[in-house]
Amino acid sequence: MNLFRTAAALCLLTVSALAADATGVWTGEVKLPTGQALPFIARLTQQGDKITGKLDGINGAPDVEIVNGKIAGDTITFNGVRQINGASVKFNYSGKLAGETIDFKILRDDGQGAPLASLTKRTK
């Protein structure tokens, strides 16, 4: 029985060691439907299954606080509110973590506008 417990504990430690770690600075760009490319920089911190951090502001806009951030397996999800033309616009972010990249899909919470994407790479 002790051998079984030891093996089970080792398996749990191995799974924990192999679990994705999203902590870091992730840099990419978002292409708008107009063709314009904007920088996308996510500064993420992972603690367990929680994700916190900020998205860098664009063109002098304030940074965006990440809320409701979580990770399950290789999937990261969070929300953020950006100021666009004087209005607060909530966005939903979903990303697949694969080694040193996160492939983000970005949707406005109100359903307006085209879906956006950003393939980011860990830079720090």
Task: Inform me whether the pLDDT recorded for 2 exceeds 90.
Answer: no
pLDDT of residue 5: 53
SS3 5: helix
Chain segment 20-76, per-residue pLDDT in tens: 799 999 999 999 999 999 999 999 999 999 999 999 998 888 999 999 999 999 999
pLDDT cut 70: percent of the chain above it: 85
Q: How confident is the model at residue 16 (pLDDT cuts 50, 70, 90)?
A: very low
Burial of residue 36 (CB within 10 Å: 0-12, 13-18, 19+) is exposed
CA distances, 9 to each of 15, 30, 33 (Å): 10, 43, 50
Amino acid at 86: G
Task: Inform me whether the pLDDT recorded for 11 exceeds 60.
Answer: no
Its pTM surpasses 0.85 = no
Domain 21-122 has CATH 3.30.465.10: no
Give the C-alpha separation, 123 to 96, whole Å: 17
